[in-house]
Structure 1
Amino acid sequence: MGHVHYYFLFACVAYWTPLRVTAVNDFSWANCDGKSLPVTIQTLTILPDGLRFPGEMTMSTILNTTVALTSPIKMKVTAEKFMQEWIMIPCLNEVGSCTYDDFCDILNRLIKPGKPCPGPLHTHGLPCRCPFQSGSYYLPVTSFHVPDLHLPATFTSGNYRISVVLNQGDQEIGCVKINFSLARSFSHLP
């Protein structure tokens, strides 16, 4: 019963309190199942730890897949916040603990088909849309400008853990766990 109260509180606050994220700290990640699944992150580095919004960041990664990634790829995100115990954050406006029927469709909404991939991906010859062929994808150390980040107020200051599970058909093909803390300030959005 206590979890229901947290969900209700999250839902109410999310609609009435705009939130501006000012920093992400203590970022860490791990493949859920070691390296036994077909899609894994070999390396991922994001600096600085204490990433500020807006601000500059650098990132490098190596992603490996032993299978081609084709539509549809179901993506299940579980987001939790520590509030004396881990509490699941509900899915509100496609943010939080949500299940997406097709990760490829999300990519197509972010980067319209026919448009070039964003700068660093294009520069390094990396794809940004499905299908992804099997193989390794390497993004060398690359700098990005990170704009102001506004999230629903369910993501208040505190410690978070997120798991992302990818399924192709009925087979789990990838899973990653991410931990971080958020610092935030309230803002008045138009």
Structure 2
Amino acid sequence: MFQLARCAALLLLLWRPALGGFFSKRKVLIGELTFDSCSAAPGDDPVQFWDVAVRTTDEGDLLVSGSMRNFVELRSPLKASVSMKRNILGLWVPVPCIKDFGSCDFEDLCSYAVSPAVQCIPLLDEHDVPCHCPVEEGVYTLPSGQFRVSGTRWAGVLAGRYKGTVTFSRGGQRLACYNASFTLE
């Protein structure tokens, strides 16, 4: 057993230069992203998104823009169900939910919102985009916003092509459904 451990350590030391920072902490970059409604009649959905763009800067920070119209007040509990798959050797394989990434059910998106006691960040305030629940009926547009994200040692492992569906609901009523496909680099 000791011999096997020594051999594995030697291989890791030899392969380390070849991995070239594969496991070093870095930001995940978003390549191409497509986004469209999966509803039969998207214009009838109580919540609608359009002109959504999510990409990363060369430094790995998120650039987000888009618009949302909600015909109902969005309040707790606001559920999101995500079904995600990753292309591995030409096959679409389900991605399990790990640390809120993958095929996850979020029972209440409002629990991720900023507390009402805390002011929204200036970028959202400037464009009247709410960051608290409930979100009143209306149209909200973020022309372009840059958000800082931290790096991860899993960036190399996460790299690949993905596709998925997210369905938003409240109290059993479907609010919106969208398909997305994207690459992570």
Task: State the TM bucket, normalised to the shorter chain.
Answer: 0.7 to 0.9
- Alignment RMSD: 2.5
Q: Helix, strand or coil: the match of 2:49?
A: strand
Moved over 6 A (4+): none
Q: Which runs of 5+ in 2 are unaligned?
A: 1-22
Q: Could you tell me how far apart the structure 1 residues matched to 2:96 and 2:155 are?
A: 12
The size of the alignment, in residue pairs, is 160
**Per-residue deviation, 1:24:** 1.1
Counterpart of 1:127 in structure 2 is 130
Partner residue in 2 for 1:177: 179
Q: Which moved more, 1:146-155 or 1:127-136?
A: 146-155
Larger relative strand fraction: 1
CA contact (8 A) 2:110 2:133 kept: yes
The whole-number CA distance in structure 2 between the counterparts of 1:67 and 1:22 is: 34
State the shift of 1:170 in Å: 0.9
**Bigger RCO (CA 8 Å, 6+ sep):** 1
Residue 146 of structure 1 deviates from its aligned partner by: 3.5
Identical counterparts, % of pairs: 26
Q: Distance in 1 between matches of 2:67 and 2:74?
A: 16
Q: Secondary structure at the match of 1:122?
A: helix
Contact 1:54 1:148 in 2 (8 A): no
Q: Post-superposition shift, 1:36?
A: 2.7
8 A contact 1:44–1:60 mirrored in 2: yes
Task: Tell me the residue number matched to 2:6.
Answer: none
CA distance 1:139–1:145, change in 2 (3 Å): closer
Give unpaired runs (5+ residues) of structure 1. 1-16, 184-190
